[in-house]
């Protein structure tokens, strides 16, 4: 049974574009066309406004929480071409860094797995992707991938951290050699996979082609210990694809069509144990999908916006025979 | 895309119903956020949208106070069952599994009882209704479980099967006993309004001894019907039943029963009871007459009661495999085309058809959380029932349900601990699910953090330990609790962080002249080796201790080795050098000549490469003070050299 357990009144004066829970589900960050980023404490069904962050000069499109081991850090990106990183110091939230390296709206920000350090990927309408790495003492190093996607990049999503090769514990003090990868989706209808080379440069590793219109969102599924990688992508063409790659037998990605919707699909997102995919469509619904035992994807629930009270009965589909 | 059996249900989120807006969403660790938005960024909206963000969740039952007891106690039964699995062998296996099943059921009943009390006591009628509906859900669960126990776990054979089913029905129709007490307690039982109702119910439930007693009261009260009551009473007494200790075979029973049935039939034909409609109707019931039974619909209350009564009086030796035929027809007859079966009816039917998968599936759909199906499926798996049905799917279903249930528990601030054990007993995906969930538990207190860490360490989840310790260590550093930060980074075996914290300690020492958290540093032990900086910190403290204990030669050697080894940070050299001063000024010669030469080398080395790390302004004064001290050091070293040479030179002489 799905129920509304809390309603947070953000008091944003304009359209909300993104809302994200922090790692523990205790805080909520929201951003809006009213140019502000707000942070709420939502423990125990309450809502307390912790911060109202101003600094952007245009609608703010996305927010992203960094891993708690780095402290309380939030990144936001906006139409004003800026990416701002906010940090909580001594109980107050302040701007800790501003990145202005893009020529056009920055559409998406995504933090890398904490094992890699504090690294933020940003995708912009100028077609470039920039990677900000925290190097210490308030300094951020920038690497830019120009022309990652022609016309523009709409989404970035990191692959989960997997230690390659042997699984023996590395001697203390030595960092394991992670292969850092992320996926991006763009207006060239493509999904691209990027890999960091040994010299620190980012190279395009793969192109995934299946969509016939702008790719609006990509989401790399969390790892559940199986030797397969999974990416979900959605597009202006109304299709949602699930891409899978068998890590042991090489680098080929095969797409499976989840569903063809009647309208643009804007957003896809995996639950933390990667067993449910949520898809937001232009038809005012959020649908939840699960993979059944024989590899087919099944819609298990519809979350619909509408008037009236919350309906109480829900069908939970489980793995079918 | 595969088809589901039912349409996925739509959950409506209250909000402005606009045709142009969409819903934006994200996952939290245990919930979802949704809010209204417009994804099409090109449209500039001047009107404000809906400013609400909705947090939605499944499985809110975890928050119910009373259900918590259910979760806690069933957890104990679950873990116990997993543990005794190896010991379950041979004949006693079935008995033990039945016992486990009864344990689960008693937990459900206890919960039901408590909730019932709360429902009655509730001042707000709406809340009272809410609790009452919960009670009926629990009651339904217990009903289903009980039937599954009889059919799947007890695996009652023909004969015993009916007795179990009778018990089952009697257990779930409660008013009989209170009605019995009512009537017996009255002045004139046989004149009580509900007298015949009571007798009928007793007969419907196969409680013939009690029915006979009632009839004797009627016989006493109205002599005109005494004869008929006696005859009917005799029939009741002589009905052949299979009693638990009985050694007669099924065939023998059937024969006897057939005879008895014929005798009843004869009485009916002879119109023995014609003058008493009540008695005649009772006789018909005992003959299993469907029409007569259906007349008692209200007393029977549901089709499965009808089914069992029907079986009792027409097919008492029914075989398990034939059950479903009677079940289906009983349902159809009872509903009589007036209403359609409810979810509960379908579940019970599936059970009578021995279709375990169907039972589990329907229960999953009908119930609001995974508790019931997870535990029942696990138990049935132990009975080796799932495997025989569909090998490929069998064990996966158990694990799937347990994983869903356990994930739901993690949403709760203390029930998550129960979830850990469930994950432990899921061999395929349990561990990785636990890893993903356990990192998301908010570490609101140190106690909680320690609890989480202990769980991770017990399971060798080193990544999670590292990550959690790192978070705690960083938190401690930000709050200036350096000792805490250090111990967390040691626990995480995080060398880089240990170095960072050690540097902070040393910086503090430079500024304040003393160490905080001495206890911790003094008792580092082998952990000191984690990082060079940490080793230096530990050794430097040791130097202080030696000096305090007047072990001057030890202190001197240690100090020297600290300087000559590479582990002292440059910024600390001046302090080390200055620390040598008091040792040099001791009455006895502490540093040997060799050591003095070393010290001089270090001094000159340092002086030539002085690091500039202090802020300007303070620099001048600090430098002056330093220079003075270094001059004093040079002097002291020279003097010491002299004394040392003399001492060593004359050692052989004296």
Q: Where are the domains of chain A?
A: 154-164+177-307
Q: Which of A28-32, A312-316, B35-39, B645-649 has the lowest mean pLDDT?
A: A312-316
Interface check B526 vs A, CB under 8 A: no
Test B400 with A61 for CB contact under 8 angstroms.
no
The per-residue pLDDT for A153 is 95
Residue of B nearest to A34 (CA): B48
| CATH number 1.20.120.420 given to A154-164+177-307 | no
The per-residue pLDDT for A316 is 28
Test A278 with B32 for CB contact under 8 angstroms.
yes
- B483 vs B407: CA distance, rounded Å: 35
Test B41 with A258 for CB contact under 8 angstroms.
no
Residue in A5, A297, A301 nearest the CB of B60: A5
The per-residue pLDDT for B191 is 82
Query: With 70 as the cut, is the pLDDT of residue A317 above it?
Result: no
Test A309 with B54 for CB contact under 8 angstroms.
no
The per-residue pLDDT for B42 is 54
Query: With 90 as the cut, is the pLDDT of residue A300 above it?
Result: no
pTM over 0.80: yes
**What ipTM did this prediction achieve?**
0.80
Rounded to 5 degrees, what are φ and ψ at A96?
Answer: -110, -20
The per-residue pLDDT for B75 is 96
- B193 vs B195: CA distance, rounded Å: 6
Residue ranges for chain B with pLDDT beneath 70 = 1-22, 38-49, 58-63, 88, 244-246, 387-395, 610-620, 651-654
What are the structure tokens assigned to B224, written together?
């005109």
Residue in B12, B27, B396 nearest the CB of A272: B27
Query: With 80 as the cut, is the pLDDT of residue A58 above it?
Result: yes
Interface check B549 vs A, CB under 8 A: no
Chain B residue numbers touching A70 (CB-CB < 8 A): 474
Burial of A212 (0-12, 13-18, 19+ CB in 10 A): exposed
Angle at B383 between CA B379 and CA B388, to 5 degrees: 120
Mean pLDDT over A111-128 rounds to 94
Handedness of CA B95, B100, B105, B107 (dihedral sign): positive
Query: How far is B327 from chain A, CA to nearest CA, in Å?
Result: 25
Cβ count within 10 A of residue B515: 19
Are B267 and B273 within 8 A, CB to CB? yes
Cβ neighbors of B228 (< 8 A, separation 6 or more) are B272, B273, B275, B276, B279
Rounded to 5 degrees, what are φ and ψ at B624?
Answer: -60, -45
Cβ neighbors of B309 (< 8 A, separation 6 or more) are B169, B204, B205, B206, B285, B293, B300
**Residue B518 Rama label (left phi>0; alpha psi -120 to 50; beta):** alpha
Mean pLDDT over A239-253 rounds to 85
Query: How far is B490 from chain A, CA to nearest CA, in Å?
Result: 11
What torsion, rounded to 10 degrees, do the Cα atoms B84, B86, B92, B98 define? 50
> Taking the CA of residue B365 as centre, how many other CA atoms within 13 Å lie in the half-sphere pointing to its CB?
21
> Which H or E run includes B425?
none
Q: In what order do the strands lie in the sheet with A48-54?
A: A16-21, A27-32, A36-41, A48-54
Query: With 50 as the cut, is the pLDDT of residue A311 above it?
Result: no
Nearest Cα neighbor of B439 from B451, B426, B452, B430 is: B452
Test B8 with A16 for CB contact under 8 angstroms.
no
* Higher pLDDT, residue A280 or A193: A193
Query: How far is B15 from chain A, CA to nearest CA, in Å?
Result: 6
Residue carrying structure tokens 């002879």: B270
The per-residue pLDDT for A56 is 94
Test A5 with B45 for CB contact under 8 angstroms.
no
Assign B318 to helix, strand or coil.
coil
Q: What is the rounded average pLDDT for all residues in chain A?
A: 84
Test B13 with A4 for CB contact under 8 angstroms.
yes
The per-residue pLDDT for A38 is 94
Chain B residue numbers touching A311 (CB-CB < 8 A): 9-12
Angle at A126 between CA A122 and CA A131, to 5 degrees: 25
Test A25 with B429 for CB contact under 8 angstroms.
no
Mean pLDDT over A133-160 rounds to 92
Residue of A nearest to B357 (CA): A321
Query: How far is B597 from chain A, CA to nearest CA, in Å?
Result: 35
Q: Whats the size of chain B, residue-wise? A: 654
Handedness of CA B407, B413, B415, B421 (dihedral sign): positive
Query: How far is A302 from chain B, CA to nearest CA, in Å?
Result: 5
Chain A residue numbers touching B41 (CB-CB < 8 A): 59, 61, 79, 105
pLDDT over 70 for what percent of chain A? 84
Are B482 and B501 within 8 A, CB to CB? yes
> Which H or E run includes A11?
none
Whole-Å CA distances, B119 to A218, B63, B66, B72, B135:
49, 17, 12, 22, 9
The band of A307, judged by pLDDT with boundaries at 50, 70 and 90, is very low
Are B324 and B349 within 8 A, CB to CB? yes
Test A299 with B60 for CB contact under 8 angstroms.
no
Interface check B38 vs A, CB under 8 A: yes
The per-residue pLDDT for B244 is 66
Beta bridge partners of A191: A185, A208
């Amino acid at each position: 049974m799905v129920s509304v357990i809390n309603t947070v009144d953000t008091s944003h004066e304009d359209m909300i574009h993104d809302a994200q829970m922090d790692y523990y589900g205790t805080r909520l960050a929201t951003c809006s066309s009213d140019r502000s980023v707000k942070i709420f404490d939502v423990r125990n069904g309450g809502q307390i406004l912790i911060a109202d962050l101003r600094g952007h000069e245009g609608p703010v499109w996305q927010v992203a929480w960094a891993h708690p081991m780095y402290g309380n850090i939030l990144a936001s990106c906006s139409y004003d071409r800026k990416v701002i990183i906010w940090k909580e110091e001594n109980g107050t939230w302040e701007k800790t860094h501003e990145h202005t390296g893009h020529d056009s709206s920055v559409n998406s920000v995504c933090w890398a797995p904490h094992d890699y350090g504090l690294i933020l990927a940003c995708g912009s309408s100028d077609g470039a992707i920039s990677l900000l790495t925290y190097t210490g003492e308030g300094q951020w190093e920038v690497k830019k991938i120009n022309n990652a996607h022609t016309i523009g990049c709409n989404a970035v999503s990191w692959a989960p951290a997997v230690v390659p090769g042997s699984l023996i514990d590395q001697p203390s003090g030595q960092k394991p050699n992670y292969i850092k990868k992320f996926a991006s989706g763009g207006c060239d209808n493509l999904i691209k996979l990027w890999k960091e080379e040994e010299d620190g440069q980012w190279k395009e590793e793969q192109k995934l082609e299946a969509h016939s219109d702008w790719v609006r969102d990509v989401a790399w599924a969390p790892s559940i210990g199986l030797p397969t990688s999974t990416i979900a992508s959605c597009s202006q063409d109304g299709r949602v694809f699930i891409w899978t790659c068998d890590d042991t037998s090489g680098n080929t990605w095969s797409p499976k069509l989840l569903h063809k919707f009647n309208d643009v699909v804007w957003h896809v997102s995996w639950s933390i144990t990667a067993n449910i995919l949520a898809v937001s469509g232009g038809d005012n619904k959020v649908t939840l999908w699960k993979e059944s035992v024989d590899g087919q994807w099944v819609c298990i629930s519809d979350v619909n916006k509408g008037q009236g009270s919350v309906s109480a009965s829900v069908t939970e589909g489980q793995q079918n025979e | 895309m595969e088809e589901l059996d039912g349409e996925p249900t739509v959950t409506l989120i209250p909000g402005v119903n606009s045709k142009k807006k969409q819903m934006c969403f994200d996952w939290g660790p245990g919930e979802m956020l949704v809010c209204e938005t417009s994804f099409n960024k090109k449209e500039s909206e001047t009107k404000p949208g809906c400013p609400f963000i909705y947090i939605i969740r499944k499985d809110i039952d975890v928050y119910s106070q009373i259900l918590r007891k259910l979760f806690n106690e069933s957890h104990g039964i679950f873990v116990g069952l997993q543990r005794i699995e190896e010991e379950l062998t041979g004949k006693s296996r079935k008995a033990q599994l039945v016992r486990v099943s009864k344990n689960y059921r008693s937990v459900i009943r206890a919960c039901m009882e408590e909730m019932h009390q709360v429902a009655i006591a509730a001042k707000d009628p709406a809340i009272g209704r809410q609790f009452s509906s919960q009670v009926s859900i629990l009651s339904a669960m217990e009903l289903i479980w009980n039937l599954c126990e009889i059919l799947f776990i007890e695996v009652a054979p023909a004969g015993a099967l009916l007795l179990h089913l009778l018990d089952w029905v009697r257990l779930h129709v409660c008013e009989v006993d209170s009605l019995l007490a009512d009537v017996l307690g009255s002045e004139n039982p046989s004149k009580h309004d509900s007298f015949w109702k009571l007798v009928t119910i007793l007969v419907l439930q196969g409680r013939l001894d009690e029915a006979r007693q009632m009839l004797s009261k009627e016989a006493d009260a109205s002599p005109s019907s005494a004869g008929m009551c006696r005859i009917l009473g005799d029939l009741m007494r002589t009905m052949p039943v299979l009693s638990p200790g009985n050694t007669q075979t099924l065939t023998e029973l059937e024969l006897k029963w057939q005879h008895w049935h014929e005798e009843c039939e004869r009485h009916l034909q002879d119109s023995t009871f014609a003058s008493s409609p009540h008695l005649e109707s009772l006789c018909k019931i005992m003959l299993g007459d469907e029409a007569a039974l259906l007349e008692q619909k209200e007393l029977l209350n549901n089709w499965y009661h009808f089914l069992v009564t029907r079986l009792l009086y027409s097919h008492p030796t029914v075989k398990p495999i034939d059950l479903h035929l009677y079940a289906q027809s009983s349902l159809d007859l009872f509903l009589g085309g007036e209403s359609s079966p409810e979810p509960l009816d379908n579940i019970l039917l599936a059970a009578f058809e021995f279709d375990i998968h169907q039972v589990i599936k329907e229960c999953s759909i009908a119930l609001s959380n995974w508790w019931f199906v997870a535990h029942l499926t696990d138990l049935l798996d132990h009975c080796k029932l799932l495997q025989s049905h569909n090998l490929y799917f069998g064990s996966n279903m158990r694990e799937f349900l347990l994983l869903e249930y356990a994930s739901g528990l993690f949403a709760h601030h203390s029930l998550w601990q129960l979830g850990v054990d469930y994950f432990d007993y899921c061999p395929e995906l349990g561990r990785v699910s636990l890893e993903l969930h356990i990192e998301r538990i908010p570490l609101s207190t140190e106690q909680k953090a320690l609890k989480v860490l202990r769980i991770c360490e017990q399971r060798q989840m080193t990544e999670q330990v590292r990550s959690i310790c790192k978070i705690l260590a960083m938190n401690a550093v930000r709050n200036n609790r350096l000792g805490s930060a250090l111990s967390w980074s040691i626990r995480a075996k995080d060398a880089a962080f240990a170095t960072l914290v050690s540097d902070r300690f040393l910086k503090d020492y430079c500024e304040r002249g003393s160490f905080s958290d001495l206890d911790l540093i003094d008792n580092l032990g082998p952990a000191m080796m984690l990082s060079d900086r940490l080793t230096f910190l530990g050794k430097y403290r040791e130097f202080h201790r030696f000096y305090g204990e007047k072990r001057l030669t030890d202190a001197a050697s240690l100090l020297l080795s600290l300087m000559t080894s590479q582990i002292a940070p440059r910024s600390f050299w001046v302090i080390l050098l200055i620390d040598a001063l008091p040792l040099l000024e001791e009455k006895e010669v502490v540093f040997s000549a060799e050591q003095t030469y070393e010290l001089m080398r270090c001094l000159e080395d340092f002086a030539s490469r002085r690091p500039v790390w202090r802020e300007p302004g303070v620099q001048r004064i600090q430098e002056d003070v330093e220079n003075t001290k270094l001059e004093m050091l040079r002097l002291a070293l020279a003097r010491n050299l002299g004394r040392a040479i003399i001492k060593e030179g004359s050692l052989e002489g004296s």
